[in-house]
A and B are shown apart, each in its own frame.
Chain A
C-alpha cells in the first residue's frame, strides 16, 4: 500500500541556518532516502520551491481565477514529500517518524487511493 508523507515546516528556517547546518540537513535527507530505497519502500520524493513561487487556481462564478500565493497561509508550509510503499499504517508511521522533517516540522501520513 502506498502512503504520501507530506512535510510541513517554517520555510524561512532554512535560510536562517549556517552553511554547515544546511549541509547536515541535506545529508540527513539523503541518507533517509537511501534507507527507504534499500528497504524497498521508496517510490518517489521531491523538495518544493518556497511558497513565494506558488500559484493557486480556483473557480469563482464559473470562471477560473489564478492567484498568486499558496493555498493555505499558515505558520508551516508544505515543503516536500515522500511517496512510499509499505504493508500498513504502522510501517508508514514508523518511516514517517524517522523522516528528518519531524525534527524541524510536521509530517502528515496519508494513504493513497489506489485506482
Chain B
C-alpha cells in the first residue's frame, strides 16, 4: 500500500506538476507561492495517502489542498489583505478540478521567458517551475554556485509577483518574438546538458532529457508553430548521437568518424518526423535550419556520403537569417568539403572580422584542420595550439593534441 501511494504520487508529480503550478501561479500571479503551496500539498499526500489510500483523482486532491494552502499563504503574507483581493483570488482559483481545470502551462512558459526577466535566469526558472528541480540541481547543471542560483531564482520570482508579470499567451503580433525567448531558454537547457558529452554527470545528463521533455510539451501546446517542431527535431537529432560521441575509453569521436550503428534510430525517426511536420508550415526559421543540417549529416553518414552542397546551402540560409559567426564557421567547413580547403579558409577570413571568434575554440580547430589540409603545417600547428588552450573538455583537448601531433614536421 505504502509503495503504491508512493508510486502514484511520483507519477502525478511527473505528469501534473507543471499543470498544477501553472494553474496556481496564473491564478495568484505569484510563482513562488504557487510552488510552495504545491510542495506542501505533496507533503500532505505523502503522509495521508499511505494511510487513507490514494484518492480517486489524485490531481484534483492535490489541487484542492494546494489551493487552500496558497490562499492561506497570501492571507498571511499581505499584512492588511483587502477582503476584496482575497475574494478575487478565491474566485479565480475556484476551478472544479473534478472536471479538469484550464491548462495554463503555455502561459507559465511565457512568464518564465518574459523579456522583463533576466535572460540568464529564464531557463533555470522553467526547469524549476515545470519540472520541480531544486536550485542546487539547477546550479550544478549550469555550473554556478547554489547560493547564486537560488538568489537569481528568488529575485526573478519576486519580480514576477511584484511587477505583476502576467501569465498569458502573447497576442499574435508579439508572439514570434516572445516565442523565440521560450525556444532559446529550452535550447539553453539542452546545450548545458549536451556539453557533458560522456554523460558522466547525472544532473547534466538529465538536463538534456528535461529540455527534450519541455520541447515535447511545447509542440503539444502549440502544434501550429514550426519553430517549436524545429527545436524538438534539433534536440532529438543531437541526442540520438550521444552514445557515439565518446569511444569505450572515453575519447572524443568527431561526427564524421562516429559509428552510426550506435545512434538511436528511433530517436532519429522521431526527429525526422518533427522536422517534416515543421517544414510543412512553409515558414523557415533558425531551429528548422539547424535541424535540417543535422538531418543532412545524419542521413548522409548513414548512407556513406554527406551532400555537402545541400549542407552549404543550409548554412548560407542560416548565416543570412542569424548573422551568427558560429554558423559562418560551419559554413566554411562545408565549403571546404565541397570545393577544397582554400575556399574554406577564404570564408574563414570573413569570420575573423568578428572579434568574438578569437576566443572561440571551434574557430581555431576548424582553421587548423583546413590549414593542415592545405599543407600549411606550421600555421596549422599554431592554430591547434590556440584551440587546445581554449578547450575545457579534457577528451576534446586530447583529440586536438593528437591531431596537432600528427602534423608532418
**Residue pair B164, A1 in contact (C-beta under 8 Å):** yes
**Residue pair B162, A111 in contact (C-beta under 8 Å):** yes
For B170, what are the chain A residues with a Cβ–Cβ distance below 8 Å? 90
Q: How far is the CB of B175 from chain A (nearest CB, A)?
A: 13
Q: Measured between alpha carbons, how far is A6 from B374 in the docked complex, in Å?
A: 60
Interface residues on B, range: 10 to 19
Q: Measured between alpha carbons, how far is A113 from B158 in the docked complex, in Å?
A: 13
**Residue pair A89, B163 in contact (C-beta under 8 Å):** yes
Q: Measured between alpha carbons, how far is A109 from B159 in the docked complex, in Å?
A: 12
Q: How far is the CB of A45 from chain B (nearest CB, A)?
A: 20
**Residue pair B164, A93 in contact (C-beta under 8 Å):** no
Q: Measured between alpha carbons, how far is A90 from B165 in the docked complex, in Å?
A: 7
Asked if A88 CB lies within 8 Å of chain B CBs, one says yes
Asked if A62 CB lies within 8 Å of chain B CBs, one says no
Q: How far is the CB of B116 from chain A (nearest CB, A)?
A: 6
**Residue pair B166, A111 in contact (C-beta under 8 Å):** no
For A1, what are the chain B residues with a Cβ–Cβ distance below 8 Å? 164
Minimal Cβ-Cβ distance residue in B for A90? B166
For B114, what are the chain A residues with a Cβ–Cβ distance below 8 Å? 89
Q: Measured between alpha carbons, how far is A88 from B165 in the docked complex, in Å?
A: 6
The residue that B168 contacts in the complex, of A90, A93, A110, with Cβ under 8 A, is A90
Q: Measured between alpha carbons, how far is A113 from B114 in the docked complex, in Å?
A: 21
Asked if A13 CB lies within 8 Å of chain B CBs, one says no
Minimal Cβ-Cβ distance residue in A for B116? A89
Asked if A87 CB lies within 8 Å of chain B CBs, one says yes
**Residue pair A111, B163 in contact (C-beta under 8 Å):** yes
The residue that A87 contacts in the complex, of B116, B162, B163, B166, with Cβ under 8 A, is B166
Mask of B102-120 contacts with A, CB within 8 angstroms, 1/0 = 0000000000001110000
CB contact list, B110-148 vs A, under 8 A: 114-116
Mask of A76-106 contacts with B, CB within 8 angstroms, 1/0 = 0000000000011110010000000000000
For B165, what are the chain A residues with a Cβ–Cβ distance below 8 Å? 88-90
Minimal Cβ-Cβ distance residue in B for A113? B162
Q: How far is the CB of B25 from chain A (nearest CB, A)?
A: 13
Q: Measured between alpha carbons, how far is A88 from B170 in the docked complex, in Å?
A: 13
Q: Measured between alpha carbons, how far is A109 from B116 in the docked complex, in Å?
A: 10
Mask of B159-189 contacts with A, CB within 8 angstroms, 1/0 = 0001111101010000000000000000000
For A93, what are the chain B residues with a Cβ–Cβ distance below 8 Å? 115-116
Q: How far is the CB of B81 from chain A (nearest CB, A)?
A: 12
- B162, B163, B170 interface centre (most CB from chain A within 10 Å): B163
| Cross-chain pairs A/B with CB under 8 angstroms, 13 sampled | A1-B164, A87-B166, A88-B164, A88-B165, A88-B166, A89-B165, A90-B165, A90-B166, A90-B168, A90-B170, A111-B162, A111-B164, A113-B162
Contacts A87-B166, A88-B164 supplied; 8 other A-B pairs, CB < 8 Å: A1-B164, A89-B116, A89-B163, A90-B166, A90-B170, A93-B116, A109-B163, A113-B162
* Shortest beta-carbon contacts, A-B, top 5: A88-B166, A111-B163, A88-B164, A89-B165, A89-B163
